[in-house]
Structure 1
Amino acid sequence: MKRSIIIAGMLFLSFSVTSCDKLEKMKEKLSQTDTKQVNPFSVNSGDANRDIISFNNKVVKMDDAQSDFIKNFQNSLIQMEEFVKKATDNHQFSGISPIFTPSIMMYSHQELKAPDVLGKEFQGWVDTMKDTTTQLENLKKELETYKEAEDWKDDKGKKVTEITEKAKKLIQENRTAATELFAKLSPRADKAEIEILKDHPLKTQILQSRETMELAQKIIDDSYDVTDMNAYKNKFSQQYQQMEKLYNRNINEKIPSSEKQKESSYQAFNNSVNDFLGKMRIVQRSLNENNQELNNNLDDLEREAGYILDRYNTFVD
C-alpha cells in the first residue's frame, strides 16, 4: 500500500510565510546556544511534530522508490524465467532475450535518521529496508550478467531459480519492515499533522484534499489485488461514488479571501480529481463490458492518481 506525504512543504509553514529578512534572522537565532530554539534544519529540531512529519515524508519517498524497484525486479525475474523455459523446451526457439527496464533509485539510499522522539525501533526498520534493497539490487545485477553471458544455455535456468528464491526472502523482509514501520508511524504522523494545522486558515481544505488524494491512491492499490472480478466491479463502483462525494465536498469548500494565493493550486487539485473521475468512468465501462483495454485504462487511471498527488503537494507547499 502506498503511504502519503503529509502536508508536504507546509511542515515549514512558519518559515514559508516569512520574508527573506525574517528567515535570515531565524538562522541567526539558530546559531545561538539556546537549546530550546527550534532548528528546522535538524533531524531533532526541538519540534516533535515537525520531526515526525519530516521523517514520515522521507520514509514515504524511500518506500515508493523501493516498491517501484521491487515491482520492476519481479517483472524482470518473470520475463527471464519465461524466456529460459521457452528456450530450453524448444531448441529452435529464436526469441529475443528480455530487455530489463532500468530502475531509478533516487530516494532509496538517501541518508535517513529517525528522530529521537520516535525511538530506536524506527531506525531499525529503516536500516532493514535499505539493507534488503541493496541486496536486491546486487541480485538484479547478477541476473543481468547471467542474461548477457547467456549462462542459461549451460545451467538451463538454475541460476534464475536461485535468484528468485533469494529475492522472495529479501522482498518479504523489506515489505514486513515497511508494514511494521508505517503501522506505528502513520497514527503519530496523522496526529502531528492535525496539531500543526490546528490554527491554519486552510485546515479544512488541506485535510479534505488529503482524504481525497489518499482515496485515489487506495483505488490504484486495490487494482493490483483483484481475485474476484465481480467483487472488484462492485467495489470499484462504490469507490467511484465515494470519490465523487469527496470531489463535490471539496469544490463547495471555498478558499478564504485571506488565502487567495492558494486558490489556483486548489482549483488545479480539484480539476485533477475531476479528470480522475473521468478515467474511473472509462475503467467502469471496461469492467462492465469485459473490455480488453481494461489494463490500459487502469494504467491511465494510475497516471491520473499521480497527478492528484503532485497537485496536492503543490497546493499544500
Structure 2
Amino acid sequence: MFPNRAPVRGLIGDIWDAKVRGKAMVMFAVAPYAGPSLGPVVAGWIFWVLTIFAGVCLAVVAFTMPETYIPVLLATKAHKLRQSTKDDRYYAPMEANTLPLGQRVESTLSKPFKLLFLEPMMMATALYMSFMFGTIYLLFEAYPIVFTQDHHLDAGVSGLAFLPISIGAACGAIVYLIVFEPRYERYITEYAPNLVPPEKRLEMAMWGAPLFSVGFFWSGWTSYPSISFWSPLVAGGLIGMSIFLISLPLFSYIIDTYLSVAASALATFVRSLFGAAFPLFATQMYEKLNPR
C-alpha cells in the first residue's frame, strides 16, 4: 500500500498549487492510517475488498487521469510543434538530455539517497516519520494482547479497538481544515507575491508531536486489566489525531521544499523499512516487558 505513495505526492504537487495543496493532502494523509485500523474490522473479507477497491481505482485512473508531469508535458508539446511546423528547433529540456540510459538510471536511483545524506532536514523528517510509523505498528501488535488477552474480548470485538485511530485521524483533518488551513491562506496573502516559506507548514506538527507522546503514555499507563478498556481506546483516538497532525505538515513540507518525487520516494522508502522492521521484534519485546 505504501510504496506507491511517492508518485501520488508528486501528482498532488503537479496538479495543485500551494494555496490548495494542503486541502488535497487531507484525504491522502488520512487514508493510509485509516487502512490499518479499518482492516481488522473487515478481516474476513479483506482480500476481496482490496481486490475490488484496487480494481476500481485502477480503472478510474487508467481512463480519467491525464499526464501531469511537467517535463513530459513539455516534451509532448514540443513534439506536436515539430510535427505541425516542420521545425526541428522545438524541443523540451527532457529531450535535450543525451545521457546514456545507464547513467540516467544511476542518477535517478542515487538521487533519493543523496538527498538523505546531504540534506539534514530531509534526514530528520524521514527518520522522524519513520520512527512514528514503526511505533504505530508496535501499537497494532500490542492491541491483541491488551484487548483480547487482558480484557478477554473476543477477536471480532477486539478488531473494533482499531477504529478510534481512524476516528482520531478524521478529527485531525477537521482541525486542520478549520484552524490551520485558513491560517496558511492568510500566510499566502501576507507573503505575496513571494512564496510562503515551507517551514510555515510545520506549525501543525508542533502541536501534534506532544499529543503523539501523550497518547502513547496514556495508552500504556492505562492498558492494565484493572482499568476500563475505554481508556486505551480513547488514547488510540488521540494517537490517530496526532499522527495526522504530524504527517500532513511533514508531507506538505517535503513537497513545498523539494518539489521532487525523489524526496517523497526517500521518505516512503525509509518509513516502510521501519514499518517492516518494528513488528519483527514486537512479540519478543512484549513477552519480556509486557505492553506497558
Common fold: TM-score over 0.5? no
Specify which structure has the bigger relative contact order, considering alpha-carbon pairs within 8 angstroms and separated by 6 or more residues: 2
Structure of larger gyration radius: 1
**TM (normalized to structure 2)?**
0.33
Of Structure 1 and Structure 2, the greater helix share is in 2
